[in-house]
A and B are shown apart, each in its own frame.
Chain A
Amino acid sequence: MKIVVNGVEEQWGVGVTVRGVVEGKGMNVEKVAVEVNRRLVRSAGGGYERELKEGDVVEIVTFVGGG
């Protein structure tokens, strides 16, 4: 199914979780924060185990230098 990750449309298997996408990209869930469809995914509420669906828009962010 199609999911947009950081602005790029990608193909992921049906039932993939938020964690599955983050870790599938080689990223550490502890070093990123994630939004799905402009809503924050909270690790506290088990949000990373949520299954994504066709057309979801995922943003994976981290800190960069800034003032």
Chain B
Amino acid sequence: MWGEGERAGVAPYNPCMSELFRIGAFSVSSRLFVGTGKYSSYEVMQAALAASGCQVVTVAVRRERLVDAAGRSLLDYLDLSKYVILPNTAGCFTAEDAIRVALLGRELLEKQKNAGAGWVKLEVLGDKKTLLPDPVGTIEATRELVKEGFTVLAYSSDDPRAAVRIKEAGAASVMPAGSPIGSGQGVLNPLNVSLCMELLKEGDPKYPVIVDAGVGTASDVTVAMELGADGVLLNTGIAHAKDPVKMAAAMKWGLEAGRLAYEAGRMGKKRYATASSPFEGVVSYIPGE
């Protein structure tokens, strides 16, 4: 066995992901944004959020139920001194409704004195079956919300040209979907997602691009980050795992692995094998030689 002194003076490598990343005026410490929907209980949600290491959590705006059986409210289960709330406009199919919901969300967060009052996750959906975004409605709503002073993070398809139009409309971040919301299919078109990155960051390398939707498991997050995404937003992948808390931790490590791999720069792919051990000096028979 090697003693302490015999271990060739190499300090343990403790990589650290690059610093905070910025979205408009917001600085964010974790690149993983986690949703608060579909957990079996508020307690599971709380434990999963903690395990994910996220700072930003998304919420939806809905009618206050006039008779709440349990009498419990999501706001009572989120530590607003710790998390930045990102309200979404989920369930909106027109720009007009998305703007109304964004204004309602901002009003609510101003009352809670939460920094999230300044931003919105914009969703303008096309239909209930696919939940794919309507690009025209998204662009219209982005323009209006920017005028209203919002930092707009816009959910988009993985169409690179649509993504560019949404950025041009004023979105502080475009968030292409890996696959349909809640489908757990991962990043179905890595080429398109990487083209989104390329076009959105052209001449503007710090423009934040977040892959939003479709993540099923940790490796999906890694794939998105390896493609160069600045972050990943997910919900169902954690909430519907058999053990949501464990999956939340997996998502965290998957994200870190993907980001580090992206920063490290992967090797090129080759058609044929290249030996890691030298052939020079082999004592064996080599076919063909």
Contact = CB atoms under 8 A, between A and B. Distances in A.
Contacts of A67: 35-38, 58, 60, 88, 90, 181-182, 213, 233-236
Given A62-B73, A66-B235, 20 more contacts: A6-B63, A6-B66, A7-B63, A31-B73, A32-B108, A33-B108, A35-B100, A61-B62, A62-B61, A62-B62, A63-B59, A63-B73, A63-B87, A63-B105, A64-B59, A64-B74, A65-B36, A65-B59, A66-B35, A67-B58
Contact of B37 (A31, A44, A66): A66
A60 interface: yes
Which label, helix, strand, loop or mixed, suits the secondary structure of the B interface? mixed
Interface string B22-50: 00000000000001111100000100000
A4 to B, nearest CB: 12
Contacts of B108: 31-33, 61-63
Interface residues of B, number: 37
Nearest to A66: B60
A67 B60 CA distance: 7
7 contacts: A25-B66, A31-B111, A61-B64, A62-B64, A65-B37, A66-B59, A67-B234
B221 interface: no
Interface string B225-236: 000000001111
Interface in A22-67: 25, 27, 30-33, 35, 38, 40-44, 59-67
B105 A64 contact: no
Interface of B: 35-39, 45, 58-64, 66, 73-75, 85, 87-88, 90, 100, 103-105, 107-108, 110-112, 181-182, 213, 233-236
